[in-house]
Amino acid sequence: MQEVAITGIGVISPLGMDPQAVADSLLRKRSGIGALDLPGLGRPFPVAAVPGDFEEPFTKMERPFLDRIARMSVLAARQASEQAGFANYSTFSERAGVFFGTGRGGVMTEWEASRVFYEDVSRQAKPYVLMASMANAATSQISIRQQIFGPTATHTSACSSSGSAIIDACRYIQAGQLDVALAGGGEATLADIFLRQWEGLRAVAEVAEDPATSCRPFAKERTGLVLGEGSVFFVLESVEHARSRGVEILAFVSGYGIASDAHHIGAPHARGQVAAMRAALRSGGLTPADLDYINAHATGTRGGDPVEIAAIRDVIGEEAARIPVSSTKALHGHLLGAASAMEMLVCVLAARGRFVPATAHLSEVSPDCQGVVHVQETLRDRSIRYAMSMSAGFGGTNVALIVRSGDIG
């Protein structure tokens, strides 16, 4: 397939508010996870929160129309655009698009409105509630503020949402329908009701003595996932368009795959993950021997981690003795709809920074997660030509993305 250039990156995350801050956190294994104890929870929960309420640079009149997810996403998209050299896209805005992935949309606004309603059913809902809580609200806010008149799309396939959005953007560019796309995702659901919903699935990790170590993918003592929040955006361009502008190409999207495992609404199956990874390799004309790093979806759950390890072993075969595998969710938590974008960012940072991030807090690999090269300490000065990230979402949609370093070829 024709590669797609990455010329801008924006990130608002538990590991930092720009790509360099995230890279530094990964290199140092600095965790963004802490403990949250809200009145409605009954106990502390481990979460990967982003500090701040992001009132700036939004005006007092704008803020009610911007759910937390929209505020973070607008800022991440702006950051990516500025790095790519776009103050806005008005000069060719019909050749630009916005592609956004989220699992839940603006639910923080809706939850607060529901609280008010049940406290006093006679109170009228504020006029901004519906518009701020729409799944496509962040997509629309970015389009409006960046003056992008081309196609906009909001993808929701649970934890693979932003990966699906990135693939959609790449396809528009490869088809010649767009020159540029803002693509990524966001999530903000760290409220008591949503944490309790996950607790009902018995999927949430116990709070460790040191809360920062609560998420332990692949570990024998893993107890579950840690919910996170944030937003990650990329400016994607056709290679020709990027080179005509004379901008630095940070990396390339070299392959992608998407597949459903058609198995269970809440339990993963290896066949869908295998299909997505193989499709990504095929689309890039690559083989497992070309890969130098795999960022796994692994969330730290008992059921999910071994299924993914089995899928990775199936796909890479003999290369399982060579290709390092890690899950950085141990540091930034599970960003749900933004997870795919966050982990593709990790792959880009790893390739550009010549390091392989570790799976933090992995003192003993679980017997059911053996068979690959687990990274327990950061590997430095490593040549990474191609890196692949894997995402598996509730409902069975699996996404694999392959990036190539921008400083090669």
Pinpoint the alpha helices (H) of 16-65: 19-28
Name residue 358's amino acid: A
CB 47 within 8 A of CB 206: no
Q: Is 307 helix (H, G, I), strand (E, B) or coil?
A: helix
Vertex 97, ends 173 and 329: CA angle to 5°? Answer: 85
Q: How many helices (H) and strands (E) does the chain have?
A: 12, 16
Distance (Å, rounded) from C-alpha 225 to C-alpha 214?
8
Distance (Å, rounded) from C-alpha 108 to C-alpha 98?
22
| Active-site entry in 155, 269, 297, 332 | 297
| Active-site entry in 155, 159, 170, 215 | 159
Burial class (CB in 10 A: 0-12, 13-18, 19+), 365: middle
CB 10 within 8 A of CB 230: no
**Is 332 a residue of the active site?**
no
Cβ neighbours of residue 382 closer than 8 Å, sequence gap 6 or more = 292, 293, 354, 355, 356
Sort strands 96-101 and 180-187 into parallel, antiparallel or unpaired: parallel
DSSP string, 206-232: PPPSSGGG---TTBTT---B-EE-EEE
**Is 297 a residue of the active site?**
yes
Cβ neighbours of residue 260 closer than 8 Å, sequence gap 6 or more = 272, 396, 397, 398
DSSP bridge pairs for 392: 398
| Active-site entry in 155, 269, 332, 334 | 334
Pinpoint the alpha helices (H) of 152-257: 161-174, 192-200, 239-245
Q: Please, what is the end-to-end C-alpha distance for the chain in angstroms?
A: 16
Burial class (CB in 10 A: 0-12, 13-18, 19+), 27: middle
Distance (Å, rounded) from C-alpha 70 to C-alpha 60?
15
Tokens linked to 194 = 């949503």
**Is 347 a residue of the active site?**
no
Residues with catalytic function: 159, 297, 334
